[in-house]
């Protein structure tokens, strides 16, 4: 197929602009773009930082005890790299290679995630602000690595050798991250309880330690309840930890048929999903529906009013919520006798999918 005259003209003009664009301007443009991208990537992971921690945990990289340090180190280092690209010292000698290595490590880990978990899910590269699949993240990293290699070739003679400015960026990056997002979630107990992990003063018993599913007392906006600290240990039925719901409803998810929805009351998609389930429940005979809700209890009346639903619900603490959704809400399960017949997330859920699955269940 022969390109049209218009396409040829655009390509020709673009080539001329590129040739005439001074090398120094190319260097500045690439540095600013990469620097701002790293800063943005680091900052958005902080809100909320627990979502990034759960992202790391869900990939099997480390434990809950180590992730609180690792997550902050990664975020602070990303911000540090971003700031460093906005100055002129040691760009070619240190910061370009460091950025390439970091992106290469991220890319290899994303390949591992795809091998074990497939192409679905959120990579967590830009926190909860921009959702990207692992494959999209790999393509993004390849483009950035190519830009960094090009920047490395553009810089012929590096003149900046003042280490004081980059060193100051270490303080600017690391101190605020650890100061404003302190590591307070876990503490190591001494004495007879040595090497047992606690959260907010609740110790792990030897029996709980043996089965590796220690309950943890969590306080979230004055809520006080006992939940499983690591839902992943029961990944075949992640909602098995929840038995008591509003209205005195007790359920055993290992028996019977149920629909469980994990919802954020601030999330428009979650509100739409809940409303859709409510409408579908009026159209056909749905199995019992249970909502696992995240948010302030004061939001509940407004949530019920918007969704026109009145299903049994249970409030989740922050850690449990992000562990269950593994990315962005909502997440919906269709269960039968403890087996997951349907597992949908924000990308693939639709009322039609749920309707078809329920019809098949009734056949």
Print pLDDT tens along the chain (363 aa): 445 676 677 767 766 666 677 888 999 999 999 999 999 999 999 988 888 887 787 777 777 778 889 999 999 999 999 999 999 999 999 999 999 999 999 999 999 988 887 887 778 899 878 888 899 999 999 999 999 999 999 998 887 788 999 999 999 999 999 999 887 544 333 233 333 333 333 333 333 333 233 333 333 333 333 444 434 445 678 888 899 999 999 999 989 999 999 999 988 889 999 999 999 999 998 999 999 999 889 999 999 999 999 999 999 988 788 888 876 789 999 999 999 999 998 778 999 999 999 998 876
- Report the CATH superfamily, name and number, of domain 232-362: Glutaredoxin (3.40.30.10)
Task: Give the tokens for residue 46.
Answer: 């902080």
Q: In this structure, are residues 273 and 347 in contact, taking their beta carbons and an 8 Å threshold?
A: no
| Spatial distance between the Cα atoms of 220 and 271, rounded to a whole number of angstroms | 22
CA-closest candidate to residue 34, choices 180, 121, 154: 154
Q: Are strands 197-198 and 215-220 parallel, antiparallel or unpaired?
A: unpaired
Predicted local distance difference test score (pLDDT) of residue 65:
75
- Domains in the chain: boundaries: 20-180, 232-362
Residues forming a β-bridge with 289:
259
What's the helix, strand, coil split of the chain in %, to 5? 55, 15, 30
Q: Cα angle at 104 between 55 and 120, to 5 degrees?
A: 40
Predicted local distance difference test score (pLDDT) of residue 186:
43
Kindly report the backbone phi and psi dihedral angles of residue 206, in degrees, each rounded to the nearest multiple of 5, phi listed first. Answer: -60, -40
């Amino acid at each position: 197929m022969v390109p049209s005259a218009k396409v040829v003209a655009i390509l020709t003009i673009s080539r001329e602009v590129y040739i005439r664009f001074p090398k120094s301007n190319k260097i500045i443009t690439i540095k600013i773009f990469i620097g701002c991208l790293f800063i943005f990537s680091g900052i958005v992971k902080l809100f909320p930082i627990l979502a990034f921690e759960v992202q790391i945990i869900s990939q099997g990289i480390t434990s809950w005890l180590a992730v609180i340090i690792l997550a902050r180190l990664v975020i602070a280092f990303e911000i540090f790299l971003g700031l460093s690209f906005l100055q002129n010292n040691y760009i070619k000698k240190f910061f370009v290679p460091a950025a390439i290595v970091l992106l290469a490590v991220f890319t290899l880990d994303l390949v591992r995630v795809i091998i074990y978990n497939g192409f679905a899910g959120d990579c967590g590269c830009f926190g909860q602000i921009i959702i990207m699949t692992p494959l999209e993240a790999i393509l993004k990293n390849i483009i950035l690595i190519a830009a960094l290699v090009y920047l490395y070739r553009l810089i012929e003679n590096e003149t900046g050798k003042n280490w004081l400015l980059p060193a100051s960026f270490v303080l600017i990056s690391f101190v605020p991250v650890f100061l404003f997002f302190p590591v307070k979630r876990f503490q190591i107990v001494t004495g007879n309880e040595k090497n047992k992990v606690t959260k907010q003063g609740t110790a792990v018993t030897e029996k709980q330690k043996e089965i590796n599913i220690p309950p943890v007392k969590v306080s979230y906006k004055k809520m006080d309840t006992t939940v499983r600290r690591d839902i992943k240990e029961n990944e075949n039925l992640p909602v098995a930890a929840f038995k008591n719901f509003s209205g005195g409803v007790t359920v055993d998810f290992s028996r019977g048929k149920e629909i469980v929805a994990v919802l954020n009351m601030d999330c428009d998609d979650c509100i739409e999903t809940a409303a859709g389930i409510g409408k579908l429940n009026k159209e056909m005979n749905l199995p019992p529906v249970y909502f696992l809700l995240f948010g302030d209890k004061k939001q509940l009346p407004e949530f019920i009013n918007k969704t026109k639903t009145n299903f049994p619900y249970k409030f989740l603490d922050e850690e449990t919520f992000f562990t269950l959704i593994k990315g962005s809400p909502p997440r919906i399960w269709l269960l039968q006798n403890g087996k997951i017949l349907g597992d949908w997330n924000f990308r693939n859920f639709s009322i039609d999918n749920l309707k078809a699955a329920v019809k098949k269940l009734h056949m």
